[in-house]
Amino acid sequence: MKKILKVISNIITVVLFLNLILMAFLVISSKASKGEAQVFGYQLKTVLSGSMEPTFLTGSIIGVKPLNSKERNVLKKDDVITFKTKEGILVTHRIIGVTTSGPNVLYKTKGDNNDGPDIDPILSENVVAIYSGFTIPYIGYFIDFAQSKKGSALLLIGPGILLLGFAAFNIYFGLKEIDRKTKNVVTKEDIV
């Protein structure tokens, strides 16, 4: 029974420690990249609307690969791209048409769940990234929370407090076990 408890204790310690490291990585990387969490060269974007459902559920995170100027000009129909609107808002929609006007490449886009195409065509220079095929449903809510001041503080401090509390719990019961063993030891002086 003691071996099982020790294994469980070790597993909990490792999980809490890994959680602390993961949260620190997520919070620090999102702060360092000005709110754009990045993993292995891919940016993680939160899906904020239902315009691309059922492809992306609201609250999901998607992985997008940032594009350079050459890559922006060779996108094709059915590629899912992230682009900046005139207002500077990032939108992720599907390309439904490609036209060339002189040196400019224009993309006609549409959200999969929208009735019609987007009003304005997108200049290739406004395309930021292409969808990589990576999606995790609903975790975007968590990422948005982690990027807030309260979320950052809670996610860095919370696992640390849990880890310290669990360490204190182990120390308390370790001392209690040592105390119990020392009381059960019979010395030569007790015999005489």
49 DSSP 8-state letter: S
Q: Using an 8 Å Cβ cutoff, are 27 and 152 in contact?
A: yes
- pLDDT grade for 114, boundaries at 50, 70 and 90: very high
Q: What pLDDT is attached to residue 34?
A: 58
Q: Using an 8 Å Cβ cutoff, are 110 and 116 in contact?
A: yes
In a domain, 96, yes or no: yes
In a domain, 192, yes or no: no
The whole-angstrom separation of Cα 27 and Cα 148 is 9
The candidate with the shortest Cα–Cα distance to 140, out of 53, 63, 69, 28, is: 63
**pLDDT tens digits for range 5-33:** 778 878 887 887 787 777 777 666 666 65
In a domain, 187, yes or no: no
Q: What pLDDT is attached to residue 13?
A: 79
68 DSSP 8-state letter: -
In a domain, 157, yes or no: yes
In a domain, 93, yes or no: yes
The whole-angstrom separation of Cα 163 and Cα 185 is 33
Number of domains present in the structure of the chain: 1
Domain of residue 114: give its range. 2-175
**pLDDT tens digits for range 120-155:** 999 999 999 999 988 888 877 777 777 778 877 777
Q: Which of 29, 30, 49, 69 is catalytic?
A: 49
* ω into 117 cis (within 30 of 0): no
Q: Report the predicted TM-score, pTM, of the whole model to 2 decimal places.
A: 0.62
Sign of CA dihedral 120, 122, 125, 128: positive
CATH number at residue 59: 2.10.109.10
The whole-angstrom separation of Cα 123 and Cα 72 is 9
As a whole number, mean pLDDT of residues 38-58 equals 84
Give the burial string for 116-126 (b: 16+ CB within 10 Å, else e): eebeebbebeb
pLDDT for residue 186 is more than 60: no
The candidate with the shortest Cα–Cα distance to 129, out of 43, 47, 55, is: 43
- Whether 49 is a known active-site residue: answer yes
User: Percent of the chain scored above 70 by pLDDT?
Assistant: 88
95: β partners: 109
Q: Using an 8 Å Cβ cutoff, are 45 and 61 in contact?
A: yes
In a domain, 182, yes or no: no
